[in-house]
Amino acid sequence: MASTIKIHTKNYDSVIEGQFLTGFTDYQVAIDSLYPLINRLDIQRKIQNETFYKRLEEDLKAGCIMPPLTIAFIEKKDLSLFNVVKFQSYINTNIKKGFILDGIQRLNTLKRVYDRKDLNLKNPIFLNIIICKSRDNLLYRMVTLNNGQKPMTARHQIEILASNLYDFNEIGLKVLTEKEAASAKGKKFFKKSDMISGYIAFLSNTTSLENSKIIESKMDELIARKIIESNITKGDVSFTAVIIELSRLSDNDECFQWLKNLNNLIGFCVGIKKSISTIKKTTPNRFAESLQSFEEAFEKFDVSKIKLSRERRKLSQYFIENYVDLKNLDPDDLLLAFNELD
């Protein structure tokens, strides 16, 4: 009988509202079934120089026990009644759908030792396994797992998981990379980098993380901290719901042009979490009318006294967040409402 992944314990993670399992397998299964999972990610963490993991290679040959790998699954079905036996069957049946959240470098090292035929394939390797319903919750756990590790930044982690967990085109939103966008002039699309910025704003619940003045290492620290502090796992609105509304509203060209502006997009992704029920009931044409009032009010600010990009992010968040109260205001009344924020 072929080796399989064995599950020992199951617990419920109330923060990410998902199942947390512990288990183990052997090196042969790790090579055959787990190592291929690292290729499921479109954007890999850069593989470290082999010399960096030379010590681990020697330890593996000597029979060391590595720290547990962390594998994750997205499963919308309710598995709360599963016992350990059912979870074991589920994991082995669905292993090709898993993601490696922590342990890519260790698996690569294991594969190098295996290729050199210096490995006892019966040695055990231990596993932490996460199963949750929400992509956003899984990303939260990924950030908390990897925060502080180098060279993978928090933004990079988000880009990796978003690329694999969100099929924007399937949801109805055309999203292109910078390279793809260069040959798609005249077509209606969002830039992938802008969508990642919108997702970061959504996860962190702030519009203040789009700032080129802050050095990258500090910004990365702030992104991770704000996501952890934002309590995203307790939110009622998923980013999928935000994408659906972006797609629906973008059927109107005026709405699309407004949302394509990165600062507006960031404000929208944060603000809609408090107003999505109202936004859902708003037609694209009616939304476009309210955006005209927003723009007329915004144009009345003295540009010499404000930082335009920061002010636009802040006010677009405020406008969308309070859409039920602000949608019918004329430009002058809206300007007064904006002015009271200061």
Extract the tokens encoding 308: 């335009």
Last residue of a domain, which of 74, 105, 133? 133
**Residue 147 placed within a domain:** no
pLDDT tens string, the chain, 342 residues long: the values are 355 999 999 999 988 889 999 999 999 999 999 999 987 755 334 455 555 567 788 888 888 888 899 999 999 899 999 999 999 999 999 999 998 888 888 999 999 889 888 788 899 999 999 999 888 888 887 777 665 545 566 777 777 777 777 778 777 788 888 888 777 776 788 998 899 999 999 999 999 887 766 766 777 778 878 887 887 777 789 999 999 999 999 999 999 999 999 999 999 999 999 999 999 999 999 999 999 999 999 999 887 888 889 999 999 999 999 999 999 999 999 999 998 886
Residues 121 and 157 in one domain: no
**Residue 141 placed within a domain:** no
**Residue 145 placed within a domain:** no
Residues 174 and 111 in one domain: no
Residues 157 and 106 in one domain: no
**Residue 239 placed within a domain:** yes
pLDDT of residue 291: 97
* Count of domains for the chain: 2
The alpha carbon dihedral of 41, 46, 50, 56 has a sign of: negative
pLDDT of residue 187: 77
Residues 25 and 98 in one domain: yes
Q: Using the structure block, give the residue that is written with the tokens 């396994």.
A: 129
Residues 191 and 224 in one domain: yes
pTM listed for this prediction: 0.67
CA atoms within 13 A on the CB side of 82: 23
Residues 192 and 334 in one domain: yes
Last residue of a domain, which of 98, 133, 168? 133
| Dist. CA 251–CA 261, nearest whole Å | 16
**Residue 235 placed within a domain:** yes
Residues 184 and 333 in one domain: yes
CA angle 244, 245, 247 (to 5 degrees): 65
Residues 159 and 301 in one domain: yes
Residues 170 and 280 in one domain: yes
Please count the other Cβ atoms lying within 10 Å of the Cβ belonging to residue 289. Answer: 16
**Residue 1 placed within a domain:** no
Residues 111 and 164 in one domain: no
Residues 236 and 311 in one domain: yes
**Residue 330 placed within a domain:** yes
pLDDT of residue 268: 98
Last residue of a domain, which of 133, 163, 189? 133
- Rg (alpha carbons) of the chain, rounded to whole number: 23
**Residue 146 placed within a domain:** no
Residues 250 and 208 in one domain: yes
Domain that holds residue 129: 6-133
pLDDT of residue 44: 39
3-state helix vs strand vs coil in the chain, percent to 5: 55, 10, 30
pLDDT of residue 102: 85
